[in-house]
């Protein structure tokens, strides 16, 4: 009985250490990694990353810093980061349409033709992203983009 209790205590301690270790990795190493990777070359998307046996999913959203309102930049880039994760899990439906118009312009005794082309690309995705927390948000090195990164620890 004492051996079973001893082994149970050790297994429980290892599990607690493992959870605490991943929280430490997320708060320090993952933040440092994301900041160094995306500050100089920000790109939207998702990334799976493993650091010291801890697995994480990152969702990265970017907006331009033309807005002076930090709240607006946070909201827009947060939605974009969640959309990236949603696209990873749920997929998207993409449709394209090309609209071509031609006009004849007659002036005095001369005629000219004007052609215009419009390509319309639509992307539809639906779903729900829950449980992901903000890892960090910052301006890119050149100050032109605002980067918002969300994360979730994976099993």
pLDDT tens-digit readout, 79-136: 899 989 988 888 778 889 999 999 888 888 888 888 999 998 888 877 777 788 999 9
Of 15 and 24, the one with more pLDDT: 24
Q: From CA 54, how far away is CA 21, in angstroms rounded?
A: 8
Structural domain includes residue 12: yes
Residue 135 lies in a domain: yes
Q: How many domains does the chain have?
A: 1
46 and 32 Cβ atoms separated by less than 8 Å? no
d(CA 108, CA 148): 58
Is the pLDDT at 41 greater than 70, yes or no?
A: yes
| Assessment of whether the complete model's pTM goes beyond 0.75 | no
The string of pLDDT tens digits covering residues 42-90 is 999 999 999 888 899 999 999 988 877 889 999 999 989 998 998 888 8
Classify burial at 28, counting beta carbons within 10 Å of its beta carbon; exposed 0-12, middle 13-18, buried 19 or more.
exposed
**In 26-111, which ranges are continuous DSSP H helix?**
31-40, 70-90
With respect to residue 99, please indicate whether it lies within any of the assigned structural domains: no
Task: Identify whether 28 is part of a domain.
Answer: yes
In-domain check, residue 108: no
Q: Residue 85: count other Cβ atoms within 10 Å of its Cβ.
A: 22
Contact predicate 46/59, CB 8 Å: yes
Q: Which helix (H) or strand (E) holds 18?
A: helix 2-25
Q: Is residue 38 part of a domain?
A: yes
Q: List the domain range (segments joined by +) for residue 25.
A: 2-90+125-154
Whether residue 109 lies inside any domain: the answer is no
Cα(143)–Cα(32) distance, integer angstroms: 19
44 closest CA partner among 28, 27, 58: 58
Please give the pLDDT value at position 4. Answer: 60
- Report phi then psi at 33, rounded to 5: -60, -50
Residue 143 domain-assigned (yes or no) = yes
């Amino acid at each position: 009985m004492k051996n079973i209790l001893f082994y149970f205590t050790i297994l429980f301690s290892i599990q607690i250490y493992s959870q605490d270790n991943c929280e430490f990795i997320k708060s320090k190493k993952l933040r440092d990694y994301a900041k160094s990777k995306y500050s100089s070359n920000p790109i939207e998307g998702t990334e799976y990353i493993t650091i010291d046996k801890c697995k994480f999913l990152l969702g990265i959203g970017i907006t331009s810093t033309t807005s002076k309102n930090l709240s607006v930049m946070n909201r827009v880039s947060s939605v974009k980061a969640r959309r990236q994760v949603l696209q990873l899990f749920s997929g998207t439906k993409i449709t394209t349409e090309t609209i071509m118009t031609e006009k004849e312009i007659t002036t005095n005794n001369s005629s000219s033709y004007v052609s215009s082309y419009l390509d319309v690309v639509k992307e539809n995705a639906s779903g729900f992203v829950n449980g992901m927390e903000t890892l960090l948000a910052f301006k890119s090195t050149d100050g032109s983009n605002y980067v918002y990164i969300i994360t979730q620890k994976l099993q």
